[in-house]
Amino acid sequence: MLTSTSLKELGLFSSSGAIQIGQRSLEGMGGIRPAISPIDGSDLATLRLAAADQVPDVISEAQKAFRIWRRVPAPKRGELVRRIGEKLREKKALLAEVVSWEVGKITQESLGEVQEMIDICDYAVGLSRQLFGLTIASERPHHRLMEQWHPLGPTLVITAFNFPVAVWAWNTMIALVCGNPIIWKPSEKAPLCALATHALVQEVLKEFPDVPDGLLSVMIGDSTLGQRLTQAPEIPLVSATGSVRMGKAVAQTVAQRLGRSLLELGGNNGMIVAPSAELDLAVRSIVFAAVGTCGQRCTTLRRLIVHRSIRENLLDRLKRIYNRLPIGNPRQAGILVGPLIDAAAFQAMQRALERAVQDGGIVTGGTRLTSGVPLGGYYVHPALVEMPAQTAIVREETFAPILYVLTYDDLEEAIALHNAVPQGLSSAILTNNLREAEYFLSPMGSDCGIANVNIGTSGAEIGGAFGGEKETGGGRESGSDSWKAYMRRVTNTINYSLELPLAQGIRFDID
Ligand code: UN1
């Protein structure tokens, strides 16, 4: 199935089936689909996808695994995660290569993505000893009121192409210590990242013969497979990362059966650059956030709201840097901008730029590179677009390196503009003015799930809760108390008296 010799050499692909259940590999029974590298359009592999009819077997293995895994004390579950973290450290460079080949990230960013997996492993190991609930003062004498957190059950993790391994790890490492088996439905555009990750994790699982196969499984398939999985009442939690369209479909299907969904969807992230901002710092943070990952992060900076007094200066500096950005083969040292994921992404970018021009936007860049880059890939000059107003196209998320520039005169106006989009993931203000910074972080400021001061919108650490409001879906993954989404809370009242006092002082005498 693997056609690429470079990937074969990595030795990360032990088996080829589109369905992996622990150490077992099963052939898919769905359609055939090539895995294509965005670097040069080459075929990396051909896969026979999993069919929706194959879902029940995978779910029943996950259920079996759940019955065993939930009995294992959480710190022991943490030991498995600790070993996975060690394996990832050992294989960091290899897995990063698969990420670069399959989704076109520059090596630095691919390494960073695997590091994010390692970080969440470390975090989850510590968490495995901290899954605690409260003890609450009871109103009744000789009663104790407390809560416990118990494992929830098989968890479906749907991931997007742009963070093909880290987002799975955020969910999986936390879910594992919480006591849940995981079924992974990766993006159709990044199946090999999932297979390589699974193979690597299974090397660790060989050391844990008592852990059932169904603890970790992968199903590679299209949206009908995803739909079938999300419908399953045996899966109490669906954690999905991707487009708003996909998220709405998942939310509706899961809500229909009153299941839980955890959504991390689109962002349309803005940054306010105030007159007092350090311009050197502004330029560096803007460029990393706007062109990093070729504009294909959900945290990518898409809207720059600049104070009129510094606009010309900042724009000049940005244009100079945009002009000499090293764009090309992401595996080559020194390159900062790799390819878009595919032709459809390129076309969406071009359509967005045309609409921006119709709205009076002035575009710098945005065109496809035709020389000095591998043939067959979609390499673009990141675009800066000076907009007269925040028109409809600016309020949409286009998954490409387009940075719209808007101008403001006073902070209230800037914040109103900032919040006037349907998405609410990440945001930033660049200022040396304490009052402005605090105001931006206050209830009257940014309405996003992430709000930063003097750094860009992307590149969050795993220790914080990650996610956003409005169309971003409201879910929180990764750090802080996000683990609570993966567990069920049970409230216990224990009476250690021989009386039966009723709450609220109710009298109910039967003799
Ligand atoms: C995503 O694009 O879905 O904050 C996740 C960041 C990364 C994660 C992005 N740590 O940019």
> Strand pairing of 362-364 and 423-424?
unpaired
Of ligand 1's listed atoms, the one at least distance from the Cα of 162 is: 2
Please indicate whether residue 234 is annotated as part of the active site: no
Ligand 1 pocket member 297 (CB < 6 A): yes
Q: How far is 178 from 116, CA to CA, in rounded Å?
A: 19
Strand residue runs (E) in 50-164 = 135-136, 143-151, 155-158
Rounded distance from Cα 399 to ligand 1 centre (Å) = 13
**Can you give the pLDDT at residue 62?**
98
Q: Which of 264, 386, 436, 471 is catalytic?
A: 264
Please indicate whether residue 264 is annotated as part of the active site: yes
Rounded distance from Cα 460 to ligand 1 centre (Å) = 7
Rounded distance from Cα 360 to ligand 1 centre (Å) = 31
Confidence of residue 12 (pLDDT cuts 50, 70, 90): confident
CB distance 350 to 381 below 8 Å: no
Ligand 1 pocket member 458 (CB < 6 A): yes
Rounded distance from Cα 470 to ligand 1 centre (Å) = 18
Q: What percent of the chain has pLDDT over 90?
A: 96
CA 464 to chain centre: 13
Strand partners, 305: 272, 406
Q: Which of 178, 193, 298, 448 is catalytic?
A: 298
Confidence of residue 5 (pLDDT cuts 50, 70, 90): confident
The whole-model pTM stands at: 0.97
Burial code (b: 16+ CB inside 10 Å, e: under 16) for 355-370 equals bbeebebebbbbeeee
Ligand 1 pocket member 298 (CB < 6 A): yes
**Can you give the pLDDT at residue 71?**
98
**Can you give the pLDDT at residue 35?**
95
**Can you give the pLDDT at residue 15?**
67
**Can you give the pLDDT at residue 3?**
84
Ligand 1 pocket member 380 (CB < 6 A): no
